[in-house]
Structure 1
Amino acid sequence: MPERTPSPLLDALSSRVVVADGAMGTALQAHDLSLDDFAGLEGCNEILNVTRPDVVRGIHRGYLAAGADAIETNTFGANFANLAEYDIADRIHELSESGARLAREVADEFATPERPRFVLGSVGPGTKLPTLGHAPFATLRDAYAEEVRGLLAGGVDAVLVETTQDILQTKASIIGAHRAMTAAGRRVPVIASITVETTGTMLLGTEVGAALAALEPLGVDVIGLNCATGPAEMSEHLRQLSQQARVPLSVMPNAGLPELGPNGAVYPLGPEGLADALSGFVREFGVGLVGGCCGTTDEHIRQLAEAVADLRPKPRDPRPEPGVSSLYQAVPFAQDASVLVIGERTNANGSKAFREAMLEGRIDDCVEIAKAQTRDGAHLLDLCVDYVGRDGAADMAELATRLAT
């Protein structure tokens, strides 16, 4: 990883509120684009970076004119999973770079020495969740790296890993981003923005504390929430991040929970409501990067920028809880009611029963041994599969996947 270089974006976050833009997808839908505009690839928004750059530029200009400090590239779906569905996965770098160059060009039109404008390279999750076995982790990681290489070539100021639903997919994105920076010899901040559903967890059941424990050690520079819900549903999750996260916070909610109207989804939260909620997050939780997701418009951003213009994020005194994370929850090392109990019977070198089950391919028996330890009070499991003559990587992939879920 190249050494961290000075970041005007992080400098800005240390002293004031930075306002990001609003929705790209719903803004594109409002242009009533034709199939020809999409080069026959209906719904592939990223192709518009080369077929209709005027439309993409216009959306960027609208948000900057409304008062945004930062705009996101039109590259949310420029990843392996999305582009492979259109049979253009070989264009990941091209579409990422073109999207970044468009945003950079427009941001520089509005930038002044007193007020720089920033470009956030949007890295969406795609449709493949590695935890569920949809695609190998390494395949996704390398494709995200290719996307970020394109974003860096196009001149982004930060990488925004957003709308993440699977903690393993989020890790693949972040690790891919770091690998791309190493290859490019250029380090920019990484913003990790997870999506928490109305259930109170990420799509696969991950709690906010577990996401923080898993992602912060990967070297993210900002962490926060976006999409799925409006600001009201994000409040308690932001409170937890405010209390525990060591890095600056971001929030980019939808314009409320979508409602089904005669012409499709309608987002009910108006500009004033969004501005009131997010300015409250700045005052109460010290959030430094604010913006909008689905259903938010130029007017949402205009009123938001006005509402936070004279605010500074509330100073925070985070109290991190050192610990580890499973797919679902974080386990702190410090236990109030007992010592931290680590189950050792899932170790092929220490448990004959586990070793024999593994060697004979009785994976269900291995899982039962693990379950028995958790029932007996183990907080963590020591999974060790190393054994002479075995393919340790294959054994670990099989067993870690089963035990994680």
Structure 2
Amino acid sequence: LTRPDVIGEIHRAYLEAGADIIETSSFNATRVSQAEYGLAAVAYELNVASARLVRELCDEFTAANPAKPRYCAGVLGPTSRTLSISPDVNDPGYRNISFDALVDDYYDSARGLMEGGADLLLIETIFDTLNAKAAVFAIEKLFDDLGRRLPVMISGTITDASGRTLSGQTAEAFWNSLAHARPISFGLNCALGAKELRAYVDELSTVCDTFVSAHPNAGLPNPLAPTGYDETPEELATAVVEWARSGLVNILGGCCGTTPAHIAAIAAAVAELPPRKVPEIEKKLRLSGLEPFNVGADSLFVNVGERTNVTGSKAFARMVLEGRFDDALAVARQQVENGAQIIDINMDEAMLDSMAAMERFLKLIATEPDISRVPIMIDSSKWSVIEAGLKCIQGKGIVN
């Protein structure tokens, strides 16, 4: 807002390096993130201005070379809050933001990006899939309200060698959870360098029936390096060109520590290589908890654990009515340990606030990886309870 000349020159340097897509400088331009700096009131303006700045530069470069069009990606970052993890170690069921509040925030940010002229929307650096679901829901509502759509890119973050997001999902589970958004591309960025990220890009390339993107960091963080990262442009380009030769990716770029020189090296290295061919993926029921669960024609019977159901288990109903959620969690855990591949949860009891009980129990389950690794079946005769439950699960569940 105050120095668009400085930000514009940074964008220009990457365009001159050969970038086809430029991200807006709006990674933290949500009200909830800007509130930490006392700037929540300018969040919308930040989105409009950041998109307009990139829009003008992309138009300039496209006009100079129409054979190489440039695109403005309106960025929606993960925010500083998480819907799947409690910030209070003493209360695992507590959340410091609601799904609905995050939807409203993302809606306004996306509206600002579209007003500023974004060609596409990029939900990126996703460490909690439920946050991304809120962003997708907000975007779909915005598209409906405006009567027009933009392509949507989705990019998650594998945080370490465990191969999982911060909220615990594997790469394939992450895809299963968000495939309904029908993104133009799906991929990974940040946290890891190319060497560490390769296996997870490979995993996505085999399951995604859309384009795959990847923009790794320039290696792992090193606070003593000038950019905070060690990998040179040549080293990063050498690593990712192998991905292209192996047919793993359609879109390549750079995240933390990657300078215009890194982008120029990547662009030159892959210039003559064909992009990944989008595969035909076998149609299956593709569910997920923290891990994927796919059901196809050759699958055996699916075991659904029904004991976490107040209408079917008097003992479980008594636990919930008495607020003994630790005991209720033990029932769910035992079912998974005994082979349940899906957990059915029903809170329809006359003496119970079904919506509150469903929300509380699902938020507690989200913090128990030995339970939440399997998909959730939300079981209720009340739409309000089903909707409340869906706002609490990051995986792809079942409505019963």
Of structures 1 and 2, the one with the larger relative CO (CA 8 A, separation 6+) is 1
Question: What is the aligned partner in structure 1 of residue 9 from structure 2?
Answer: 58
Matched, 1:164 2:126: yes
Matched, 1:229 2:192: yes
Distance apart, 1:389 and its partner CA:
5.3
Checking the alignment, whether the CA contact within 8 Å between 1:285 and 1:316 is kept in structure 2 is no
RMSD: 1.9
The one-letter code of the counterpart of 1:220 is P
Task: Show structure 2 runs of 5+ residues with no match.
Answer: 86-94, 368-400
Distance apart, 1:81 and its partner CA:
2.8
Checking the alignment, whether the CA contact within 8 Å between 2:157 and 2:189 is kept in structure 1 is yes
Structure 1: how far apart are the matches of 2:149 and 2:197? 30
Q: How many residues align?
A: 354
Question: What is the aligned partner in structure 2 of residue 129 from structure 1?
Answer: 82
Structure 2: how far apart are the matches of 1:210 and 1:359? 33
Deviations 1:254-288 (A, max 9, x none): 1111113177x621111112222222212213411
Identity level (%)? 38
Task: Show structure 1 runs of 5+ residues with no match.
Answer: 1-49
Matched, 1:374 2:336: yes
Structure 1: how far apart are the matches of 2:353 and 2:76? 34
Checking the alignment, whether the CA contact within 8 Å between 2:30 and 2:40 is kept in structure 1 is yes
The one-letter code of the counterpart of 1:118 is Y
Structure 2: how far apart are the matches of 1:403 and 1:267? 37
Question: What is the aligned partner in structure 2 of residue 208 from structure 1?
Answer: 171
Checking the alignment, whether the CA contact within 8 Å between 1:149 and 1:184 is kept in structure 2 is no
Counterpart pick for 2:33 among 79, 82, 94 = 82
The one-letter code of the counterpart of 1:383 is I
Counterpart pick for 1:364 among 316, 326, 337 = 326
Counterpart pick for 1:154 among 85, 108, 116 = 116
Distance apart, 1:115 and its partner CA:
2.1
SS at match of 2:22: strand
From the superposition, tell whether residues 318 and 254 of structure 1 become closer, same or farther in structure 2 (CA, over 3 Å).
Answer: farther
Structure 2: how far apart are the matches of 1:107 and 1:201? 35
Distance apart, 1:335 and its partner CA:
10
Structure 2: how far apart are the matches of 1:124 and 1:130? 14
Matched, 1:248 2:211: yes
Question: What is the aligned partner in structure 1 of residue 385 from structure 2?
Answer: none
Matched, 1:259 2:222: yes
Checking the alignment, whether the CA contact within 8 Å between 2:184 and 2:211 is kept in structure 1 is yes
Checking the alignment, whether the CA contact within 8 Å between 2:209 and 2:278 is kept in structure 1 is no
Distance apart, 1:338 and its partner CA:
5.2
Distance apart, 1:253 and its partner CA:
0.5
Counterpart pick for 1:193 among 132, 148, 155 = 155
Q: What's the TM-score, normalizing by structure 1?
A: 0.83
Question: What is the aligned partner in structure 1 of residue 388 from structure 2?
Answer: none
